[in-house]
Homo-oligomer: A and B are copies of this chain.
Amino acid sequence: MANSQIPYKTYLSEEEIPKAWYNIRADMKTAHRPILNPGTLEPMSAEDLSPVFCSELAAQELNDTDRFIEIPDEVRELYKMYRPSPVMRAYALEKELGTPAKIYYKYEGGNTSGSHKLNSAIAQAYYAKKQGLKGVTTETGAGQWGTALAIACGFFELDCKVFMVKISSEQKPYRKAIMETYGATVTPSPSNTTNIGRKILEENPGTGGSLGCAISEAVEVAVSTEGYRYVLGSVLNQVLIHQSIIGLETKAALDRYDVYPDVLIGCAGGGSNFGGLMAPYMADRLAGKKSPYFIAVEPASCPSMTRGKFAYDFCDTGMVTPLAKMYTLGASFIPAPNHAGGLRYHGMSPILSQLYYDGYIDEARAVPQLSVFDAATLFARVEGILPAPESSHAIRVAIDEALACKESGESKTIVFGLTGTGNFDLGAYMQYADGTLNDYIPTDEDLEIGFAGIPKVE
């Protein structure tokens, strides 16, 4: 099948795990606008953030000067248990497509959380432990972030309180079970353990909950319980810093073979994976050097970059969090219930938003979910790995780019991020197989409803 010198899988040694994360903000030409206190509309300081976030994480959130942030030894030791993750050469996919393109992917699904989320969860749990906290709170929808955080808290013997969207906790009992196996407490949200939860249950006793409500409950418990802070798995600057390890490892592995991507592709929901994967290559772009063509891929049913507004908005549907300047569909936007492909977030990381607005990210592309599952199924059969629906957005575009190469005869080097496995998404694969999944693309009128809720803040 393959005849090249480059192996199917390239693993760096554990000693080659980066000693520092890369903070792209230090190199950005235009700083993203500061996050604002939702009450005063003033930029938030580290002190403002510290009732909610650990001190070190609040500092990272605001840090736009240090290019590198040292990875603490304890974090690096835990990374060694599952990192470096492999860079894979997709020989079988290339052959299947009959393309002259060379396709690589960075595979982040080879740990029990099943995704890249563990990279930031370990860092966040570490800083919480270091600060002497008793525990952390968070929300989870499908359960990927909650699982990663539960594992990380297990390592540090830190209490982990997860508010899981009630309907998800009922539909995905196994996600709840895995979090509990790692010692987390999983509370279906809305719950009667918080003021906001009780209020919502009173108004609407039969509700299945929402991510916005779960965030509100998690934040309420964090700020009202001695020794607890709130943590979040995407969107934030601190998370992009931690996820830079994906890109740093990718570049180190490809540099071994003098391979440099012509096209770099990542799926983008909140932006942490694509932000991490692209980081060192974006540094080349920002330094005016040769750099790849960057494509961020999002679902056509939740098209924040391709059809959203670049505006200040709340980070949560509950509108209790700070305001961030970002591409947004409006905090009240919720994708159609038929949408099974993940990446449901209404906004986009402020860093990615600014880079896209300034033209450093070349393209955002929205893809409909049936074509995403077509790509996922093809990939699974030829490459063996069952991909997460989220990751399959990147696969879809990688395949499209490879087929364009077949057409043009170009042998481009295509690199994409395979962020996770689909082992806990088989319900979605079943819907795809039995034909109950369809493509829903919101009309301009649909989007106007979400846009109407975006606050008027410049």
**Residues of A that sit less than 8 Å from B by CB:** 1-2, 7-9, 11, 13-14, 74, 77-78, 80-82, 92, 110-112, 114, 151, 154-155, 173-174, 177-178, 180-183, 377, 380-386, 421, 423-424, 426-427, 429-430, 433
Q: Nearest chain B CB to A240's CB is how many angstroms away?
A: 23
Given that A9-B14, A77-B1, A81-B92 are contacting pairs, would A381 and B183 also be in contact in the complex, using a CB cutoff of 8 Å? yes
User: Contact: A112 with B384, CB < 8 Å?
Assistant: yes
**In the complex, what residues of B have CB within 8 A of residue A81's CB?**
8-9, 92, 383-384
User: Contact: B423 with A423, CB < 8 Å?
Assistant: yes
Name A152's closest neighbour in chain B (CB-CB): B384
Separation of A383 and B81 alpha carbons in the complex (Å): 7
> Given B7, B154, B385, which contacts A14 in the complex, CB threshold below 8 Å?
B7
Given that A110-B110, A181-B377, A181-B433 are contacting pairs, would A426 and B383 also be in contact in the complex, using a CB cutoff of 8 Å? no
User: Contact: A80 with B384, CB < 8 Å?
Assistant: no
User: Contact: B92 with A384, CB < 8 Å?
Assistant: no
Name A122's closest neighbour in chain B (CB-CB): B384
Separation of A383 and B78 alpha carbons in the complex (Å): 9
Given that A11-B11, A110-B110 are contacting pairs, would A2 and B182 also be in contact in the complex, using a CB cutoff of 8 Å? no
Separation of A384 and B14 alpha carbons in the complex (Å): 17
Residue in A11, A81, A112, A430 with the greatest tally of chain B CB atoms within 10 Å: A81
Q: Nearest chain B CB to A195's CB is how many angstroms away?
A: 29
User: Contact: A112 with B380, CB < 8 Å?
Assistant: yes
Q: Nearest chain B CB to A357's CB is how many angstroms away?
A: 38
Separation of A77 and B426 alpha carbons in the complex (Å): 28
User: Contact: A80 with B7, CB < 8 Å?
Assistant: yes
**In the complex, what residues of B have CB within 8 A of residue A13's CB?**
7
**In the complex, what residues of B have CB within 8 A of residue A111's CB?**
384-385
Given that A14-B7, A112-B421, A424-B423 are contacting pairs, would A384 and B181 also be in contact in the complex, using a CB cutoff of 8 Å? no
Name A386's closest neighbour in chain B (CB-CB): B112
Name A2's closest neighbour in chain B (CB-CB): B77
> Given B92, B154, B181, B433, which contacts A180 in the complex, CB threshold below 8 Å?
B433
Residue in A174, A377, A384 with the greatest tally of chain B CB atoms within 10 Å: A384
What are some 12 contacts across the A-B interface (CB < 8 A)? A1-B77, A7-B14, A9-B81, A81-B383, A92-B155, A111-B385, A173-B426, A173-B430, A174-B427, A174-B430, A178-B423, A181-B380
Separation of A430 and B181 alpha carbons in the complex (Å): 8
Given A7-B13, A112-B421, A177-B433, 7 additional A-B pairs, CB 8 A: A1-B77, A7-B14, A8-B14, A8-B80, A173-B430, A182-B380, A423-B423
Given that A2-B77, A424-B423 are contacting pairs, would A178 and B386 also be in contact in the complex, using a CB cutoff of 8 Å? yes
Separation of A382 and B382 alpha carbons in the complex (Å): 34
**In the complex, what residues of B have CB within 8 A of residue A182's CB?**
380-381
Given that A14-B9, A177-B430, A427-B174 are contacting pairs, would A151 and B80 also be in contact in the complex, using a CB cutoff of 8 Å? no
Q: Nearest chain B CB to A420's CB is how many angstroms away?
A: 12
Separation of A192 and B291 alpha carbons in the complex (Å): 60
Q: Nearest chain B CB to A286's CB is how many angstroms away?
A: 34
Name A431's closest neighbour in chain B (CB-CB): B177
Separation of A433 and B174 alpha carbons in the complex (Å): 12
Q: Nearest chain B CB to A424's CB is how many angstroms away?
A: 7
Q: Nearest chain B CB to A324's CB is how many angstroms away?
A: 32
Name A157's closest neighbour in chain B (CB-CB): B381
Separation of A81 and B92 alpha carbons in the complex (Å): 9
Separation of A423 and B177 alpha carbons in the complex (Å): 10
User: Contact: A426 with B112, CB < 8 Å?
Assistant: no
Separation of A92 and B156 alpha carbons in the complex (Å): 12
Q: Nearest chain B CB to A181's CB is how many angstroms away?
A: 5
